[in-house]
Chains A and B, each alone.
Chain A
Amino acid sequence: MADVLAADSGTIGEPAVNISIFGVFVLITLFITFRASRNNKSAADYYAAGRNISGTQNGLAIAGDYLSAASFLGIAGAIAVFGYDGFLYSIGFLVAWLVALLLVAELMRNTARFTMADVLAFRMRQRPVRMAAAISTLTVSLFYLLAQMSGAGGLVTLLLGVSGEAAQAVVVTIVGALMIFYVLVGGMRGTTYVQIIKASLLIIGAFVMTVWVLGKYGFNLSALIGGAQELAVEGRDVAAPGAQYGATGTSKLDFVSLGLALVLGTAGLPHVLMRFYTVPTAKDARRSVVWAIWLIGIFYLFSLVIGYGAGALVGPERILGAPGAVNAAAPLLAFELGGTVLLGIIAGVAFATILAVVAGLTITASASFAHDVYASVIKRGNVPPNGEVRVARITAVVIGAISIGLGILALQAGINIAFLVALAFAVAASANLPTILYTLFWKNFTTQGALWSIYGGLIACVGLIIFSPVVSGAPVVEATGKSPSLIQDVDFSWFPLNNPGLVSIPLSFFLGWLGSKLSKERPDELKSAELEVRAFTGIGAEKAVQH
């Protein structure tokens, strides 16, 4: 078996099988998207699926939206190679949902129409706050999109037997075109169905692999870890912390920073918030988060077993030697367990994953541009009934095209997927979450506070990354002869951490407070009362569309 895997082509399994399973998924979802498109008439239909998605369906869709390629391939791979340190990611990603459940989901559902800015600008001066919220929404979504698109290209090399820059570019273009199609035709309803199908496939696939792996070890977690330990990189305890982040004081601090960004980022991710607007009531929003927490939690428990299983049955050496490196762990394990067919299914699911996530991101970004920037800031609310959705559709095409272009560039530059996702989380936690919490829970928050917090968090976060070892100045790795930084041979870095959350998140909270304190204008008491009463009671909340 090992010899087959190490074949020179650099692919595993049968590309034809992988492509056909993916093709079947695309055909089924296209059919459903066409059916869903019949009801897309109003802006509420297009952006929020008419608010007719049930809590259970939305929980599945959230899981489909959230469990991106980075979660599925990245976490399993990190556990396979680094053991315990990979596990830490999944805990941050999961616990983060409590912030959404306890503090954000229901209150946002009650007060927003289509975008995060609807809530943030509610009791502030509309145009500046909407503009700021839209800029941070677009920034977060674009980073996330980039990660997924370049992930798609990387997967292709591994699973479809396509290599070479031109061929990978073609695949990224196909994924991008499909995504634009889903969003244009199906709107939020079509996107939701794609995410539901994908989440179901992903969780079933992970369940099968988990039971299979555990079965091989007599359903004994200790024996499985023992197996992973046997093949582990020399001198590494796979069940103990520190393999990836324990090296120096700086790398330890970096891990704490990452942990903070993960746990505070989720509730500020615009594409996650937008999913709450697709259900009829706040109670359904609550139900959907509860479903999402269970599904995501159980999935991460599966990925713990899959990760250790890949470590034990495939081994870090073969994983790191495969094209796609760490990301190859889950596919390699699938091949080891179930041969070509299981690999094909997992590969198909991985593609479906990317497709579903990028569609959700595109609709969020285009809604924010059309609803906040075009309709509110540029046109000051004077748009014809269908003008906004028309602009949203055009924006979706533009964003799709941009992300195809940037995705190809990111892929060729070899940017790490997990890094881009962690960056998106850091920006969301720095620019969005403080403003959301202040808006909902602090009555003295003002326009100036909101602007300082959003722009301050955004600029600090992106700025610190530019001057971090991520962009320049990381020491050259002996094995590859290259520095892991984006830019080789120059060093303008002065910020030691890869993840800026530890600095930029508290800074943004502080700036929001300071900006409000130093503000000359008083908070709008009447608007503030309206927001609070609406948020807690659900009066005046947008209703489901009747067809």
Chain B
Amino acid sequence: MTDPNERRLLTPEEYLAAQNSPEFQDLKKKFRAFAFPMTFAFFAWYLLYVLLSTYAPDFMATDVLGNVNIGLLLGLGQFVSTFVITHLYVNHANKRTDPIADEMRERLEHHDYAGSRGTDTQGVTRG
């Protein structure tokens, strides 16, 4: 609360200006470009697995390595894909979205978006 950068709360207009800034649009785009297709992918992969287990049990029961069958391998594959996606997401966030978010937060704390209107995409700094 005593943080000097937060002496004054941000106004609704500042939020609107920040939202309309090109860097925020870029941040959103980069976030969505990873999160949305990846969500679709793991959800489809999970549904495929559930549907195969339900409606193609004989296929899933095909033994591959001794008693280990396709169903078990695909199930273990769900674990692997979950771990891999987690790892990819963290990398993506660290490299692509965090830098923009950190910089914007810094600028918002200094009220850098206060001067610009919603339509002004420069977000010009004002003393």
Contacts and interface: CB of A to CB of B under 8 A. Distances in A.
Nearest to B50: A259
A320 interface: no
B9 to A, nearest CB: 8
Interface residues of B, number: 55
Give the interface centre of A88, A99, A533, A538 by most chain B CB atoms within 10 Å.
Answer: A533
A389 interface: no
Given A91-B75, A95-B82, A293-B82, A239 B89 contact: no
Contacts of A293: 82-83, 86
Interface in A244-262: 245-246, 252, 255-256, 259
A50 to B, nearest CB: 14
A88 B86 CA distance: 20
A171 to B, nearest CB: 36
Interface string A285-308: 010011001100100110000000
A101 B78 contact: no
Given A95-B42, A223-B66, A532-B19, A283 B98 contact: yes
Nearest to B101: A537
Contacts of A99: 39
B73 to A, nearest CB: 11
B60 to A, nearest CB: 5
Nearest to B98: A283
A530 B13 CA distance: 9
A241 B61 CA distance: 7
A126 to B, nearest CB: 16
Interface string A83-127: 010011001101101110111000000000000000000000000
B42 A98 contact: yes
B57 A539 contact: no
Given A87-B75, A229-B67, A245 B54 contact: yes
A94 B31 contact: no
Contact of B12 (A92, A237, A529): A529
A255 B67 CA distance: 24
Interface in B98-119: 98, 101, 104-105, 108-109
Contacts of B78: 91, 94-95
B55 A252 contact: yes
A88 B75 contact: yes
A263 interface: yes
A240 interface: yes
A443 B29 CA distance: 15
B61 A240 contact: yes
Contact of A256 (B39, B50, B60, B75): B50
Contacts of B3: 543
A242 interface: yes
Contacts of A101: 86, 89
A526 interface: yes
Contact of B69 (A239, A256, A301): A239
Contact of A95 (B34, B38, B46, B101): B46
A476 interface: no
Nearest to A289: B86
A382 interface: no
A222 interface: yes
A537 B12 contact: no
Contact of B10 (A102, A103, A246, A540): A540
B3 to A, nearest CB: 8
B16 A539 contact: no
A222 B35 contact: no
Q: Which 5 pairs across A and B sit closest by C-beta, in order of nearness?
A: A222-B66, A240-B61, A526-B12, A225-B67, A241-B53
Interface of A: 84, 87-88, 91-92, 94-95, 97-99, 101-103, 220-223, 225-226, 229, 237, 239-242, 245-246, 252, 255-256, 259, 263, 283, 286, 289-290, 293-294, 297, 300-301, 525-527, 529-530, 532-534, 536-540, 543
30 contacts: A84-B71, A84-B72, A87-B72, A87-B75, A92-B46, A95-B42, A97-B82, A99-B39, A102-B89, A220-B66, A225-B67, A225-B72, A239-B63, A241-B53, A241-B61, A255-B50, A259-B46, A259-B47, A259-B50, A263-B43, A289-B86, A290-B86, A293-B83, A532-B19, A534-B15, A536-B24, A536-B31, A539-B105, A539-B108, A543-B3
Interface of B: 3, 9-10, 12-13, 15-16, 18-19, 24, 27-28, 31, 34-35, 38-39, 42-43, 46-47, 49-51, 53-55, 57, 60-61, 63, 65-69, 71-72, 75-76, 78-79, 82-83, 85-86, 89-90, 93, 98, 101, 104-105, 108-109
Given A87-B75, A256-B54, A539-B105, 18 more contacts: A84-B71, A87-B72, A98-B82, A220-B66, A221-B67, A225-B68, A226-B66, A226-B67, A239-B68, A241-B60, A255-B54, A293-B86, A294-B83, A301-B76, A526-B12, A526-B15, A529-B18, A533-B15
